[in-house]
Amino acid sequence: MDYKPLIQQVTKTYCSIYKLYYLTHSCHWCVEGKDFYEMHKLLEKQYESIWESVDDTAEKIRQLDAYPPSSLTFVYNTGEQFEDCSKFPVHEMAKSLVTAHDKMISSLNDSIQDSKKVGREDLTSYFGELWEEHSKMRWMLRATSKRYNNEQDTTTTED
Ligand SMILES: [Fe+2]
């Protein structure tokens, strides 16, 4: 079985997870304002969970007899790119992180599809679990973003 395309896709997902981990931790450090503590704690829970999946995903790459990237430049240039929202006001930060999780979920979908193609059900279910975790994080951030400034909800019900 040729695992090369799967390894490439999982590596992209790995790089995206690593960057989302760092972004979430940065937001945890930099958040300011009246709801500082609540957001600070929410982001702490999230970056801890994402950090675990950085490790687990690197080990999935090893289980495919490949190596996770060791260069941060490579990590930076590979996979999804996220907006640095760490200095944004809380509601803007939460909105931008929702977009980041949307991208993350899309990358996980690609890894789920590529795992299915080569019959790696172990990876299909692993990335499915991550999909569920990011979907939950996205929901919490989206709910947080709605709490501020009588903000109008311009999103539709389809998401
Ligand atoms: Fe901390």
CA–centroid distance, 37 to ligand 1, in Å, is 11
Single pTM value for the model = 0.91
**In the chain, where are the structural domains located?**
4-145
Rounded to the nearest angstrom, the distance between the alpha carbon of 44 and the centre of ligand 1 is: 7
Unique residue bearing structure tokens 């019900």: 157
Q: For the segment 22-63, what is each residue's pLDDT rounded down to a tens digit?
A: 999 999 999 998 889 999 999 999 999 999 999 999 999 999
8 CA from centroid of ligand 1 (Å) = 33
Q: Ligand 1 center to residue 43 CA distance, Å? A: 9
Whole-number percent of the chain with pLDDT over 90: 87
142 vs 23: CA distance, rounded Å: 17
Residue 83: count of CB within 10 angstroms of its CB: 14
Q: How confident is the model at residue 149 (pLDDT cuts 50, 70, 90)?
A: low
Q: How far is CA 3 from CA 9, 47, 65, 114, in A?
A: 10, 30, 9, 9
Q: Which of 17-21, 86-90, 147-151, 154-158 has the lowest mean pLDDT?
A: 154-158
Whether the pLDDT of residue 157 is over 70: the answer is no
DSSP codes joined into one string, 35-97: THHHHHHHHHHHHHHHHHHHHHHHHHHHHTT------HHHHHHSS------TTS-HHHHHHHH
Q: Give the architecture-level CATH label for domain 4-145.
A: Up-down Bundle (1.20)
